[in-house]
Structure 1
């Protein structure tokens, strides 16, 4: 029912502005831009725009548009892949005439005139493809560009189909999408090629991480360390999953120092981590979440909470 209601709103508006979360990943960009491509192909006379801060490392996927404030006045706004209102990139999303939320995270903040939240989906991109399938008999079109973007988001949020969130439906959708003739090796290169500076920082992390008896692990990346390896805060997002293959680690957290806070990225192979993130201005999935700490003392508290979660899981 939700998908039909969303389609009716898309069909009713001449201007549609699509948002996603801050510090985007392939699922955020893929769902945002994939949906934009579907709408533009189906309704070429509509004005469809995407907004959000640029991430140079992901511009091989898509590039954002410039949108002035006046454009929002009569626009339909759609926010993809964002559970928390505070994490919507570009807070002008509130200025549209109507608002739709499409997301696969737990429904932390209820916002929007229509909310389509499906925590059983591997990714918001999987939901966008599901939306297309439900509407294709009504004339909705999926282009090669849309297929590439949606596939990228599914691959990214499933860890190349390794995560438990990958279902038979996920694989069926991926099989559909690869029938479009986009360049998969080139896409994988963009998503997974590692720059030398990032590779060297990986080496530092592998030489310096420790694992507690319970299986919790933390990594501290200060400004000084990132400057030493010439790695930006954005580039550190490529490192978060690297500890998942190491024997004995159940859950881990990266603490990345920014100018005004410490970014916390958590992953798990069992213990629930999004409940910890929720205590520290964050959220996410049970086994993949993000948060913010105001001080290194707060990161020590998070480390203790992570240790407790691992002990309880064992």
Structure 2
């Protein structure tokens, strides 16, 4: 971690009265855990701050609401953006109106939109960076902050099974566990599913197409998922039905949402981010996001992915 940037974040939080925390659109648990965990850390260690967490939530969490945020406050605020590689994906339309922007991220750098950019693309999760930053700054980590940060760490690491997990990942996990994470509670909140979610996963898996070269993909639209009455994060679970299958070397979903075709790419061995960048996206080497204009572009995407397989 860059020591100067770590200290700069500490200094800026102390300097500003109003702090806004933003994350990417359609957040996952790493985005939400980073945002809420950081808000908890600021609330507990930097007294008297006004903190807003903007944008969509995965669940019914309503802490640090932003409905009272005014344009006047915005112009005097520090904006901290977590887990968001490029400005286009920030879930906050007015982000450019803030006094200063500090980016904390773990994706490959595609857009240095912050005045300051604390990025570690070797970290499996953004919450890993925030946890180690809190430890370096000797901050108090409450059980609530630890829980929010741990949710991001355990999900983005695939329960510590993904290839990007390193010694710092386990160091962060140890820090959070020492500060009161209830693993049973986290397990229930993250992985207990409604029956309709399991039914959706079975439905989606039955739409799997597997190419001779080992590209597996599922394409779904509103007519597929709307009858299940799911949140978008639950719809995205279709992606994980294809992991852990020997014959599938690269897998992806195309989900039509609000007339956009959102692509999620995964692989055990092949650097799919190279392809994601060609299709309006980016991300990690083995886990990236992209977009296609329409389904007519699907053959081009498949061809580009097949070219990765040697």
Give the TM interval when normalised to the shorter protein.
over 0.9
Q: Aligned pair count? A: 306
Give the 3-state SS of the residue equivalent to 2:137 in structure 1. Answer: helix
| 1:31-87 Cα distance to aligned partner (Å, 9 max, x none) | 1111111111011211111101233xx335966432232221111111011001100
The match for 2:101 is 99
Question: Cα distance, 1:287 vs. partner?
Answer: 0.8
The match for 1:289 is 288
Where structure 1 has 5 or more consecutive residues not aligned to the other structure, the ranges are: none
The match for 1:8 is 11
Contact 1:78–1:102 under 8 Å retained in 2: yes
Give the 3-state SS of the residue equivalent to 2:258 in structure 1. Answer: coil
Question: Cα distance, 1:9 vs. partner?
Answer: 1.0
CA distance in 2, matches of 1:64, 1:239: 31
Matches within 5 A, 1:51-90: 51-55=54-58, 58-59=59-60, 64-66=65-67, 67-90=69-92
The match for 2:24 is 21
Match of 1:124 among 110, 123, 126: 126
Contact 1:281–1:291 under 8 Å retained in 2: yes
Contact 1:61–1:149 under 8 Å retained in 2: no
RMSD of Structure 2 on Structure 1 (CA): 1.7
The match for 1:247 is 246
The match for 1:218 is 217
Contact 2:13–2:46 under 8 Å retained in 1: no
TM-score under structure 1 normalisation? Answer: 0.92
CA distance in 2, matches of 1:206, 1:152: 26
CA distance in 1, matches of 2:239, 2:71: 36
1:274 aligns with 2:273: yes
Alignment CA distance shift 1:232-1:34 (3 Å): closer
Contact 2:20–2:79 under 8 Å retained in 1: yes
Contact 1:29–1:61 under 8 Å retained in 2: no
CA distance in 2, matches of 1:254, 1:165: 22
Give the 3-state SS of the residue equivalent to 1:270 in structure 2. Answer: coil
Where structure 2 has 5 or more consecutive residues not aligned to the other structure, the ranges are: none
CA distance in 2, matches of 1:97, 1:208: 48
Question: Cα distance, 1:119 vs. partner?
Answer: 0.5
CA distance in 1, matches of 2:198, 2:211: 25
The match for 1:49 is 52
CA distance in 2, matches of 1:151, 1:234: 18
Contact 2:217–2:253 under 8 Å retained in 1: yes
Give the 3-state SS of the residue equivalent to 1:170 in structure 2. Answer: helix
Question: Cα distance, 1:210 vs. partner?
Answer: 3.2
CA distance in 1, matches of 2:175, 2:235: 32
TM-score under structure 2 normalisation? Answer: 0.93
Give the 3-state SS of the residue equivalent to 1:279 in structure 2. Answer: helix
